[in-house]
Amino acid sequence: MTQTLTIARPDDWHLHLRDGAMLEAVLPESARHFARAIVMPNLVPPVVTGAQATAYRDRILEALPADMAFEPLMTLYLTENTDPQDVAAAHASGLVRAVKLYPAGATTNSASGVRDFDKVRPVLEKMADIGLPLCVHGEVTDHQIDIFDREAVFIDRVLDPIRRATPGLRVVMEHITTANGVEYVKSNPTDLGATITTHHLIINRNHILVGGIKPHYYCLPVAKREEHRLALRAAATSGDGRFFLGTDSAPHTDPNKESACGCAGCFTATNTMALLAHVFEEENALDQLEAFASKNGPGFYRLPVNTAQLTLQKHESPVTFPAKIATGEGDVTVFDPGFAVHWSVLG
């Protein structure tokens, strides 16, 4: 029997679109299903100023196919030299919706990130004053800290002290991967939210390492133990407004993923909504998919829920997705969940 589910058109609250030929190829994959997206600023060079964000937004809109509707929500890359007044002006203009904190060296193109958090205190205080959210890549980069512990340590050493020192600062813990992250959000009723990716709801660290290294499952923050994946599933399907979808869809060409030092990131823009329907159905929570994908994010960012709708359909036979997306820089592999999927997006 055919089953359908109609929800408000979803948004992606954490998306990498890159630039140039890569942007042109991957943008339609997101715009097909998502009305808006928080666009990451970690280009080379990074998007640091309001003027650079304006130019990047213009390039995104120029690359958008004429028959697609999509609103890029721009962010600024926080550096130790970021000007608080430029941030405030970019926010006041309606251009910038968040500022992104990358600890230096934490992930792709994060070399310009923050090392000394005291140096960004004036920016954070200004952001608290104007209500501009801080999006956080929550990992420490100390070499002595095990990569599987870096999120939990970041909460204790960096995030909690920042929030205590800056009352009123609105923070999004992006792509949380641990039960520690879930519990920290749940213990803080105000000014704190978290995005959860599609792939972290599906894979744990065994998927990356057992039976041979799977480079297309390698991401940062890296997938953790099964107990953490289950905690993320419980949070995402709970209906709690503090948890919302941020795919962290991150395109890299196959040679860059499959090299001796492969890039971190899973490209999920193409099939995220179908995979989420599968996950939420497994958790007997299809009635909560709209909250996670379409309502909780706008609630945190103080934006209206989209009036347009998206319909998902369940099929008796498994559906297929493109294995790769061709780009001017080379092929990008689409995330493979490793199981049969029976859901697709209509239209």
Q: Which residues are catalytic?
A: 248
- Say how far apart CA 254 and CA 259 lie, in whole Å: 8
State whether the Cα torsion 149-152-154-158 is positive or negative: negative
Integer-rounded Cα radius of gyration of the chain:
19
Q: Where are the alpha helices (DSSP H) in the chain?
A: 20-31, 50-63, 84-92, 121-130, 150-154, 160-165, 179-186, 205-209, 226-236, 254-257, 272-282, 289-290, 296-301
Percent composition of the chain: helix, strand, coil (DSSP 3-state, to 5): 35, 20, 45
Two structure tokens written together for 47: 């998007």
Token duo for residue 94: 């309606």
- Residue 59 φ/ψ, nearest 5 degrees: -70, -35
Yes or no: say if 96 and 90 are a contact pair by the CB < 8 Å rule.
yes
CA distance 330 to 325: 9
